[in-house]
Amino acid sequence: MGKIIFYEDRNFQGRSYECMSDCSELGSYLLRCTSCKVESGCFMVYDRPNYVGNQHFLSRGEYSDFQSMGFTDSIRSCRLIPHYRGSFRMRIYERENFQGQSHELMEDCDSIQERYRMSDCQSCHVMDGHWLIYDQPHFRGRMMYLRPGEYRSPREVGYKGGRLSSVKRITDPC
pLDDT by residue for the chain (174 residues), tens only, comes to 899 999 999 999 999 999 999 999 999 999 999 999 999 999 999 989 999 888 899 999 999 998 777 777 789 999 999 988 899 999 999 999 999 999 999 999 999 999 998 878 889 999 999 999 998 999 998 889 999 999 998 777 666 666 789 999 999 876
Q: Tell whether 31 is covered by a domain.
A: yes
Please choose, from the candidates 98, 112, 36, the residue with its C-alpha nearest in 3D space to the C-alpha of residue 67: 36
* pLDDT of the residue at 33: 92
Picking from 81, 107, 123, the residue at the C-terminal end of a domain is 81
In a domain, 26, yes or no: yes
Same domain as 108, residue 77: no
Total of domains in the chain = 2
Instruction: For residues 77 and 104, state if they share a domain.
Output: no
The pTM for the full model equals 0.87
pLDDT at 162: 63
In terms of residue numbers, what domain contains 138?
Answer: 89-169
- 174 belongs to a structural domain: no
* Nearest Cα residue to 134 out of 100, 91, 167, 101: 167
**57 and 25 within one domain:** yes
Assess if residue 58 is contained within a domain.
Answer: yes
Q: Is 93 in the same domain as 164?
A: yes
Q: Are residues 96 and 76 in the same domain?
A: no
Same-domain check for residues 21 and 59? yes
42 found inside a domain? yes
95 in any annotated domain: yes
**What pLDDT does residue 127 have?**
97
- Last residue of some domain: 42, 62, 81? 81
Max Cα–Cα distance, the chain, nearest Å: 51
Task: Answer yes or no: do 51 and 114 share one domain.
Answer: no
For the domain that residue 141 is a member of, what is the CATH number?
2.60.20.10
65 assigned to some structural domain: yes
Cα 90 from Cα 107, distance rounded (Å): 9
The Cβ of residue 76 has, within 10 Å, a number of other Cβ atoms equal to: 23
CA torsion sign for 141, 143, 149, 151 is negative
Region class of 72: left (phi > 0), else alpha (psi between -120 and 50), else beta = alpha
User: What pLDDT, on a 0 to 100 scale, did the predictor assign at position 119?
Assistant: 78
Q: What is the pLDDT of residue 68?
A: 77
Residue after which a domain boundary falls, among 81, 114, 131:
81
